[in-house]
Amino acid sequence: MQRICLSVRYNNMNMILAPHMLWTKHGDLHVDAVTVERAGSPPKIFKIGTFKLLGLGNVALTSRTFDPQPEFDPADPKYAEAPVASVQR
């Protein structure tokens, strides 16, 4: 299975995200993803961040693929309310 990055607009900045988990919190959809690129440059540190789905604009699939981050834990208690989809290892 291919894991495909997303191109998004977040806080007036173009970004490439590697989505790891889609989940709900208080009824709102969130995506936990690694920022692969921000404003055309890679971040200093690759880590998983949480993004409210409503805050993402211009969402599109890219041709870029990714491997899941080793620290990603789909059993993390924060996903207990309502996990929707998770990247598989």
Distance from chain centroid for Cα 80: 17
Q: What's the pTM value of the predicted model, to 2 decimals?
A: 0.92
Could you tell me which residues come within 8 angstroms of residue 8 by beta carbon, excluding any fewer than 6 positions away?
14, 15, 16, 17, 51, 56, 57, 58, 59, 60
The residue range of the domain holding 50 is 4-86
* pLDDT tens by residue, 25-59: 988 999 999 999 999 999 999 999 999 999 999 99
pLDDT tens profile 53-76: 999 999 999 999 999 999 999 999
In the chain, the number of structural domains is 1
